[in-house]
Structure 1
């Protein structure tokens, strides 16, 4: 393993408030440069840290964000469209990034406009004439340096170097919050992670947890109020066998408080084996479910203990991953099921079928069962109750479910039932709306589902331990155990190891399977977290070695983008907002990963051709370095990765 693993960091994560004092105490330990060492405070509304110097202006920054480059250009071309063809009022500007040979962005409305106006006595003779008029009618703007017409009326736009530079410098002063995209939705619920009580969190939960957390972070950055929901499996028939097994094992009904989650996993397997093989135990377990659902105190108390033991286990995993969720499990929605099913019955959607109550969905071979033959509820009835609650009680405009692709059809049927009931609009592009974020399997290097040698599902905690252990071994081998305190060594190994696991997952299109390989994800070359963390640390090192006060340079210095590689880096920085918008809109974290990797590549090209420290352009280039580091840190934050500041 290379030197890229020898990194020193401040633990900038997003813990829940109860971890605040612990995290704050560590900040001063790892920062070494005043310009890179802001004091952080906790903002409960967004559940993350902000530099104290910026804290008072957070709300202002959020409301004064300038939008994406595409949005800003769209405003200009919207005025041009109204002036060019005022009779076509429903035309939206079509803005897209274009081939760098022709410009930076392109307006592609001319062809579609020509289709609308030709033959109607229009003054225009073709799409190119419309394109020329669109260019001519653009309002004056410091944003645009020049325009050109290509092909059948494409309007190619070259952005002003000075405007790009000034926009970056303004961000350095006002904060990257001004670059947050503007989304239509104001409140969202994201249902992710969702482990089952009495079962260990495994590698399958890794994808849901990491993807869901990143989607939440991106939407929160975009000023969406996000409700992070952990829909844990804490209700159902399995609790009958767990409770009866508990009564047999612990006659007084008290479970040892120090019982580990691994022991509870074995406890679950033992109870399931008895349930499948012992008819007498099975009958007792079925009666226990009735007692539990009837609210019998003895059974409720046993259920509460089992849930709490399990909860302590997965909360430790969330703490290690820097993930925050609010638990509302299946049991929370259970009281709402009868009234929700009654609402669906009143709409004429629920029918009797072979002793069960179902909803028939057009195009589906099997119906959506909402009440089983034995009168019990199931996943569908719980999910419908949860959806109703989120729409009516929590007033969510966008409800996002992060589960494996195998559950896609189930959620399609639930969403269709909600549309038939009038809870959701028929059109998918209108709010409120629902989205299923499916993801593929985690594979081993043999191409099969990732499992241990004993064919067991890989425990998530084991993966985290292994990643940290490997990183720590390399750091010790490099002699860092002699330079750093034990705490520094632990924190560095955690940051790099956990970050590597997260990024290796997120960089892939979530719909595809991916192969889990420690060797690949901990490589310091290529598109890995280690490479990116190294790149960020190198930028910080350059700034430190300059000896300059960055805060002072922000006030007195000026960014200039005279070299083509400076301009290319500056333009890529400005495209950050539209990339986050695209990643949010399409619910694809890999889009942000690709942007981050390309940003690092653009910076490397800039640094290899443009001397920073000691050059006559030092001030400008140091500010460009700082802007790159700021954007990289925000990308890391959105991906749930802790940045590092020293090599």
Structure 2
């Protein structure tokens, strides 16, 4: 099958070349949806001044030379209205139905590294980690589906000076008690207790500082204690990942500790090459184009004046490793919007060092905040961060309660409640642009109407119920597809855009565009279903055609939701 917009764009470009010369063959035809046709080409208006001709005259010349599977009409000051034929739409929809990939292209394979989730091992996961985890997981699913080699990287905060006091606190508590607290997700109270002792107990403070030295030297006993702490913490993280249904595993963990032995080498190399220089006792890179408030060059500090290393050092070691060892062609950092300047300076410093060549794409997928109903950062009434696992469990409970009046046994209700609850939370996050803030509102998230996860899940369940009532299998062949009613053509036209949308999501790191597409598709199906009887169609030909369109819609919805990481229950 072929993307309708691509067919029309190529047709207009050929017409431009025929009408005005081959130099116009690459002109953007400015194809846009139209309320008067399937699409319209707006290029005549933008081209008229260059050609010294009236826009409508340019539009007419395009229409006179165009060859598309449909009709062309000039309207207004110079719009070229393009309407595809019913026969062409039906044939393309039939091809899409027969295509295992539903029209999604397989791109030239590249190695794509995606850095996402990345909780701090010294603290529990909270709602702030939801977006980096959910958005990142959707992106890796899309990249993999497009044919790329995807390497997930969970860059845990698992190293540094705080681990001196965290390990000493573990010894004071006893290993078993500490493990139990960490596995329960009580990382914040654990950290706070360790910090309180560090600040108030001189003996503990001295022990913690000494422990940092043995940790940095990778002393065997200290490393044993560090592993106990980390393994307990990771087991808690995995509970959250399992509940969310994300694809991260222990094999994807590449925390700060992994790069510890590379930090001195990074500094030595940059200093010896003159890329990093001493400034006020610290070793800094000054990438061009970054200045402070008074116009002074802004430093990217890679070694502190006391000889310690920071995030900049680790991140430089990380990006070098991902390019030189993992052979990344593209690196996607799914990180909070507040880290924008840091990542810009990281990319600029890595390019200055020659570690990030021009042909490798390094991108920051900026993640906005999750807000409460008061428009402020989402917290408990007491002002504390809300545990992510508790939030997910509440979503599951609320979703199951919505189904309480249905004729389901407890196990089925729990299974559907889990799928709907997680789908609601993830879709609410993914359906807004990743760099925007959004309000966390269970009532809106769980609504069966509007642009929500449950609405889309319900749409798939409703299509399946059509096949159950008729005694048909949606996986069996139906058709041939015949387009007659306007609602049929609108549905077919929407279905044919699936492949282009998935490719756009992969290129632009924009899962909200897939959400918008799926919502429009579900809406188009609702209009189709209300206007075009399926099981009670006037003829067997119409029934088989409409069953084929319903089956195709079901497959596209299920595939699209799967790319977003959203499970689709058989019934709701």
Shared fold by TM > 0.5? Answer: yes
Matched with 1:380 is: 312
> Per-residue deviation at 1:504?
1.5
What secondary structure is seen at the aligned counterpart in 2 of 1:315? Answer: helix
- 1:224 matched to 2:134? The reply is no
Matched with 1:5 is: none
How far apart are the structure 2 equivalents of 1:106 and 1:223?
Answer: 32
What secondary structure is seen at the aligned counterpart in 2 of 1:611? Answer: coil
- 1:566 matched to 2:488? The reply is yes
- 1:241 matched to 2:184? The reply is no
What secondary structure is seen at the aligned counterpart in 2 of 1:179? Answer: coil
Q: Equivalent of 1:105, from 30, 33, 39?
A: 39
> Per-residue deviation at 1:560?
1.1
- 1:646 matched to 2:568? The reply is no
Contact 2:124 2:186 in 1 (8 A): no
Matched with 1:299 is: 222
Q: Equivalent of 2:534, from 612, 628, 633?
A: 612
Give structure 2 stretches of 5+ with no counterpart.
293-297
How far apart are the structure 2 equivalents of 1:151 and 1:349?
Answer: 59
> Per-residue deviation at 1:398?
1.7
How far apart are the structure 2 equivalents of 1:341 and 1:71?
Answer: 49
How far apart are the structure 2 equivalents of 1:287 and 1:375?
Answer: 16
1:237-270 Cα shifts (integer Å, max 9, x gaps): 11111122223333xx677765524344432221
Matched with 1:63 is: none
Matched with 2:238 is: 315
Pair 1:382–1:71, CA change in 2 (3 A) = farther
Q: Equivalent of 1:515, from 434, 439, 462?
A: 439
Pair 1:105–1:422, CA change in 2 (3 A) = farther
Matched with 2:371 is: 443
How far apart are the structure 2 equivalents of 1:331 and 1:133?
Answer: 65
Matches of residues 337-348 of structure 1 in structure 2 within 5 Å? 337-348=263-274
Q: Which moved more, 1:144-153 or 1:108-117?
A: 108-117
Matches of residues 550-629 of structure 1 in structure 2 within 5 Å? 550-554=474-478, 557-615=479-537, 616=539, 617-629=542-554
- 1:397 matched to 2:329? The reply is yes
Contact 1:180 1:223 in 2 (8 A): no
Contact 1:171 1:179 in 2 (8 A): yes
Matched with 1:71 is: 6
1:263-320 Cα shifts (integer Å, max 9, x gaps): 4443222112222233432333222222112121011111111111100000111111
> Per-residue deviation at 1:135?
4.3
Pair 1:420–1:644, CA change in 2 (3 A) = same
> Per-residue deviation at 1:559?
0.8
**TM-score when normalising by structure 2:** 0.91
Contact 1:68 1:181 in 2 (8 A): no
> Per-residue deviation at 1:444?
1.5
Contact 1:198 1:261 in 2 (8 A): no
> Per-residue deviation at 1:187?
2.3
How far apart are the structure 2 equivalents of 1:267 and 1:209?
Answer: 24
Matched with 2:23 is: 88
Pair 1:549–1:294, CA change in 2 (3 A) = closer
Matched with 1:632 is: 557
1:115-152 Cα shifts (integer Å, max 9, x gaps): 6666xxxxxx566555445445445x6xx212234566
**TM-score when normalising by structure 1:** 0.81
**RMSD, aligned α-carbons:** 2.5
- 1:355 matched to 2:281? The reply is yes
Contact 2:534 2:543 in 1 (8 A): yes
Matched with 1:453 is: 381
Matched with 1:18 is: none
Pair 1:105–1:425, CA change in 2 (3 A) = farther
Contact 1:400 1:434 in 2 (8 A): yes
Q: Which moved more, 1:228-237 or 1:588-597?
A: 588-597
Matched with 1:468 is: 396
Q: Which moved more, 1:414-423 or 1:460-469?
A: 414-423
Contact 2:425 2:445 in 1 (8 A): yes
Contact 2:282 2:304 in 1 (8 A): yes
Bigger RCO (CA 8 Å, 6+ sep): 1
What secondary structure is seen at the aligned counterpart in 2 of 1:318? Answer: helix
Contact 1:80 1:138 in 2 (8 A): yes
What secondary structure is seen at the aligned counterpart in 1 of 2:536? Answer: coil
Contact 1:200 1:261 in 2 (8 A): no
What secondary structure is seen at the aligned counterpart in 1 of 2:566? Answer: coil
> Per-residue deviation at 1:550?
4.0
1:310-353 Cα shifts (integer Å, max 9, x gaps): 00000111111111121111111222333333443354321211
Matched with 1:408 is: 340
What secondary structure is seen at the aligned counterpart in 2 of 1:262? Answer: coil
Q: Equivalent of 1:202, from 114, 121, 126?
A: 126
- 1:478 matched to 2:412? The reply is no
Contact 1:502 1:641 in 2 (8 A): yes
Contact 2:320 2:356 in 1 (8 A): no
Pair 1:184–1:105, CA change in 2 (3 A) = farther
> Per-residue deviation at 1:584?
2.7
> Per-residue deviation at 1:105?
3.0
What secondary structure is seen at the aligned counterpart in 2 of 1:553? Answer: coil
How far apart are the structure 2 equivalents of 1:492 and 1:535?
Answer: 14
1:373-400 Cα shifts (integer Å, max 9, x gaps): 2211111111111111112221222211
- 1:286 matched to 2:209? The reply is yes
Pair 1:87–1:569, CA change in 2 (3 A) = closer
Pair 1:282–1:95, CA change in 2 (3 A) = same
Pair 1:220–1:154, CA change in 2 (3 A) = farther
> Per-residue deviation at 1:435?
1.3
